A and B are shown apart, each in its own frame.
Chain A
Amino acid sequence: MSLIPHRLNCLDKMKGLWFMLVLVAVAKSERIFTGDQVIRVDVQSEEQIKLLQFLESEEKWNLDFWLHPVSTKLPVDVRVPRTHLSAVKEYLHAHRIPFTVMIDNVQELLDQEKAEMEENHISERSTRSFNFGAYHPLDTIYSWMDTLVAQHPNLVTKLDMGRSYENRPLYVLKFSTGGTKRPAIWIDLGIHSREWVSQATGVWTANKIATDYSTDASLTSLLNTMDIYMLIVANPDGYVFTHTSDRMWRKTRSKNSGSVCVGVDPNRNWDAGFGGPGASSLPCSDSYHGPYAHSEIEVKNIVNLIQGHGNFKSFISVHSYSQLLMYPYGYTCRGAPDQAELDSVARAAVQKLTSLYGTAYQVGNICNIIYQASGGSIDWSYDVGIKYSFAFELRDTGRYGFILPADQIIPTASETWLALKHIMEYVRDHPY
């Protein structure tokens, strides 16, 4: 309604009158039920039924029966307008018809419902327009997870797999169409908190899996026999720290006894060549391996889940940056037994990735391609028998590095999806 004041001439006054009438009409059309109550009568005899049917026929009471009086086996529910409440209750008392008040104030309920609807509308609007091309703080990602689950209840569940050092929940999204402990694929993202495009890619990818299921034949066949577990924020304490204090924080936020320096490199903390080359024994180092393998609760929780499940067939860790797709080992430059196969799967996956925007990736084992690094996640997963273990380093190659502009999130996630899908399809087609 425009409130621009202007001098009212005759025509304006006429317009004003019409406007007022319209307002009144609109106001009247939304009915108010303040003070109305809904009463439930547990009918005990045919006589009581007849008495209630008489009430129903009396128009002057303006009673609105929600459940009509028909038999003694069923309750009778009636909304009684406020103005007639005392009269109706007196009538029921006089005829010894017992009743209970189900709804104390109908309008209150309606207001509540309206508010809920608006809330849902807003949240629905916001999930449809959830900006996948932006970086979000932890709380936003966590609440978005709930909306994803709500939108795809038959496919996605959110599991609380434990707590972080600072007691934040670790939520893994499980994509499953049923079964018990089906062969599964593990994907973790953001274990190094400053690699923001990793968590952001996880969010986009989770949405992609949920929305493409049942329309994409390959994905559908995959999910009909396998489960996907996705841990979008593997290091929530670190992630929050990158938002609040230090954008370049990499490690966990655990306190190191005897040192002022905080945190352990969670990708040097796994029980795979633990404490070997490429990891530091100094708490102040960014690649500090920690006091012992799996000392970090974030790592231990993943280990517990994987071992407790016992049927994971693939383990994929997603990092940034460098544009690499790697397979074990990092703790040694000696080739893994399945190196030839892993190499060919990775090369084919990268071909698919590159096909989208021409983004060039290198392929190789960790030790040769990036650096020797002990205590890494995919070395651990490979050594516990999960053959198809891979690590991604997403965009870019150093121009922006960790601080990748948000407009590259969706392109990065889209191209990475092609590689991920290839790996997952290969795992599906090569059971072991």
Chain B
Amino acid sequence: MATGELNPSHYPAQRAAKVVQHYLNTHYGSPYKLFGLERVYSAKAEDVADSGRKYQLEISVHEIISNAKEKCSAEVFFPRGEKQLSPQVQVSSCEELFKINAKPEEEALFQQYKTNKILRTEKRLPDSYGNMDPEMTPFWHLSIVASSFIMLTESTENTLYNMAQVANITQLVGCFTSYSVSFLQWNRNK
């Protein structure tokens, strides 16, 4: 594996940067706030003793709904070991994006569906043709956030995960409203 200054458009840098996207969505994502990796400006990799490899990245991140873009610095550490462990991510100088306030919309969505006593199940978001009921878009975003958690946990230096499609999303009514998102598929071969 390459060490030192990496070509930002080659896959080792791109894959590490994608992990940052999964991290941001896992920790800060919501039905109204979703992050995408826009560009990798520079990347450096170094081995950390025997414990793993660390990537230092200068990237730009795109908040998809508000269309805001910001440059961020990030560090991604891929631990090495017998058992596969999740990468660790640290992000800095990205504060503007975190300040984006989607609370009103999120609250409105929550209220709207909290009182909904009907058990909702949606299959296939989007459908085979890329179509989606606009009302379902926040739930598609929610599913991306949920899958980001899995993608973050599972990422290695050799993976590039994206959520392909929501197979099934069901609203469970109880003390609180929660969503079960099942059978997410993700794939890397293009």
Contacts and interface: CB of A to CB of B under 8 A. Distances in A.
B3 interface: no
Given A287-B189, A398-B162, A403 B11 contact: no
A363 B10 CA distance: 9
A400 B189 CA distance: 14
B129 interface: yes
Given A368-B10, A368-B11, A369-B11, A400 B187 contact: no
Interface string B1-21: 000000101110000000000
A192 B190 contact: yes
A196 to B, nearest CB: 8
Given A248-B164, A287-B189, A319-B190, A405 B131 contact: yes
Nearest to B125: A403
B187 A286 contact: yes
Contact of B190 (A134, A135, A320): A320
Contacts of A363: 9
Interface in B127-144: 127-131
A397 B9 CA distance: 13
Contacts of B187: 248, 286
Nearest to B36: A399
Interface residues of B, number: 23
Contacts of A405: 126, 129-131
Interface string B43-60: 000000000000000000
A366 to B, nearest CB: 10
A182 B11 CA distance: 38
Contacts of A399: 36, 64, 162
B36 A364 contact: no
Interface string A110-144: 00000000000000000000000011000000000
B36 A247 contact: no
A403 B9 contact: no
A364 B128 contact: no
A317 to B, nearest CB: 12
B39 interface: yes
A367 to B, nearest CB: 9
A371 B11 contact: yes
B9 A369 contact: yes
Contacts of A393: 190
B84 interface: no
26 contacts: A134-B129, A243-B128, A247-B128, A248-B164, A248-B165, A286-B187, A320-B190, A321-B190, A360-B39, A362-B9, A363-B9, A364-B7, A364-B10, A368-B7, A368-B11, A369-B10, A369-B11, A370-B11, A371-B11, A371-B188, A398-B36, A399-B36, A403-B126, A403-B129, A403-B165, A405-B131
Interface of B: 7, 9-11, 36-37, 39, 64, 126-131, 162-165, 185, 187-190
